Chains A and B, each alone.
Chain A
Amino acid sequence: MLTAQLKKSRSGRTQSSFVLDVALEIPPGITIVFGPSGAGKSTLLDCIAGLLKPDAGRIEINGDVLLDVERRIDVAPPKRKIAYVFQSLALFPHMTVKQNAAYGLADVPAPQRASLVNSILAAFRVEQLANRKADEISGGERQRVALARSLATSPRVLLLDEPLTALDEGLKKSIMEDLQRWNTAQNIPILYVTHSRAEVDTLGERVIALDQGQIISTGTPQEVLDTPRRSSLAQASGFENLFSGVVTELREADGVMRVRLVKGACEIETPLGYAAAGTAIRLAIRAGDILLATERPYGLSARNVIAGKIISLEQRGTMFIAQVAADADGAVVFTVHLTLGAKRVLELEVNHTVWLVIKTHSCHVLEDQK
């Protein structure tokens, strides 16, 4: 179990300045840290690894204190026994794969070291590359070597900073399976940082959502991603439609409220949020959650039916992306995803009049008012 309470203010020229202020308890297994870029994910990992010194806080692994700012305990990175795979991987380019993997085993007697290196390279299926230089192997192989190098030292915690972002899905999955297999025996906490929604879905048992240095929700991927509470997180987790609005009316008995979108005249019914009438809120709606009808629909359970006109249609892969301007005011434009079949059967073209159908519970009310 890794526990950490950390405070670190960060001001940089390139990064947005923020205060990282988190309290975490990470059990063995994979925990995803998810958030938009600039949320403080890498700062968090750097603090845990000891590469950055927090302004205040405490870090503990299985009861062993690594950092306690108040008591002036600060174990140096080489002594923390924390493995960290950077986004850049940082393999030593002048060494072979074998030398890279053996780097952290300087204190281990030579015969034992050789067998450790062989077995960890085999576990990540790169044993055939042992004598190749680190700069002569492919991207996916490099990720495997980087994982093998950091796990050869039998670390107590593994930190991963988007190490697989550049890989295709198949490769990513196979590497993660190898990592999970390795961890069934070792059973250490693994913190996996990403800003990719797809990675959260495939890897995560637990997710911590981070935004502007704060943990804004924790839970299963489903729980965290499908009800985002901030608009930056909504954007990162794939909500194509983000609107500003003003609450016009609360219908507490029905558990809903009416929201008028700021730019236009159209009103949308949403689940009841923690907002009084008259407050400004943000709304997030997935493009895939909006239905299109070519005639005004009747007898629907969906509470939001909005007339509009298609202003653009664009094919992307096996999907059409339609932009629909609401009739009430052209300033409000919805993004809608359609299958190729739906577009064909409905004979949709630019300038056609359509009706947008949105369920109340597909409208997510966000916390901030940006």
Chain B
Amino acid sequence: MDSLILSVRLAACVSGILLLIGMPLAYWLAYWNWRGKFLLEAIVALPLVLPPTVLGFYVLIALGPHGPIGKISHALFHRGLAFTFGGLVFASVLYSFPFTVQPLIASFEAMDRRLLDASALLGASRFRTFTKVILPLSLPGIVTAVVLSFAHTLGEFGVVLMVGGNLPGITRTASIDIYDRVQSMEYAEANRMALVLLIISFVVLSAVYGVNRRIGRRMWASWAAR
């Protein structure tokens, strides 16, 4: 059960951090055009195609005592990040990046530009336009982004194993626990854990689709009536 709580804590941290980073980045990618933008888009999408072990390996090196992030961490906190909860959060943020940023970009891009123009012409700053118009109208996209990154982090395995190892209560997440128990032939335990993960994932996803459909249908009706 410890490992499950750890997984949920990790997923909550990661999706919260990703929302904070992802929102401005997605806004930038959706509304600004500049040369070389495609490179950043490729970097954002990279974790989708990269094997988790590759990502995990580089993160491990970066977090280690000789890696750039490890050095900073040593200087600030007198300890490294490898095989810690913090390191796990860092790696998972990278790994789930596209799952937050891409739904956000998609919903920002789908906004009627004339609404943004109207807001600007009514004297609103970019920030006010963002908080008063873009955010409320992108709610379905934001919900999707949060839930996808939460669910994706909950289910990750390779990156966690590479970066966090298997320390009970610190880095042993539910998926690693399941793997562990299967290795030691504790099928009943593994099954219980797997079933809980399955149910959580299903409930979360159906809640998202339900909410999005309600919000989506209402918004669609408003557009169609124009």
Contact = CB atoms under 8 A, between A and B. Distances in A.
| Chain B associates with chain A | yes
Interface of A: 49, 51, 76-84, 86, 88-90, 92-94, 103-104, 106-107, 133-135, 149-150, 153
A103 B119 contact: yes
Contacts of A149: 122
A92 B119 CA distance: 9
B200 interface: no
Contacts of B33: none
A90 B133 CA distance: 11
Interface size class of B (residues with CB under 8 A): 20 to 34
B120 interface: yes
Given A88-B226, A135-B222, A104 B114 contact: no
Contacts of B122: 78, 103-104, 149-150, 153
A330 B49 CA distance: 68
Nearest to B115: A90
Contacts of A84: 117-118, 121
B115 A92 contact: yes
A51 B128 contact: no
A135 B119 contact: no
A343 to B, nearest CB: 41
A88 B120 contact: no
A300 B40 CA distance: 78
B137 A94 contact: yes
Contacts of B226: 88-89
A134 B134 CA distance: 16
Contacts of A51: 117, 120-121
Contacts of B121: 49, 51, 77-78, 80, 82-84, 150
Given A86-B114, A86-B117, A92-B133, 12 more contacts: A51-B121, A76-B120, A78-B124, A84-B118, A92-B132, A93-B219, A93-B222, A103-B124, A106-B128, A135-B221, A135-B225, A150-B122
A90 B136 contact: no
B117 A93 contact: no
A83 B123 CA distance: 10
Interface string B105-118: 00000001011011
9 tightest A-B contacts by CB?
A: A135-B222, A104-B122, A90-B118, A90-B114, A93-B222, A77-B120, A78-B123, A94-B136, A84-B121
Nearest to A81: B123
B32 interface: no
Contact of A88 (B112, B123, B125, B128): B112
A118 to B, nearest CB: 18
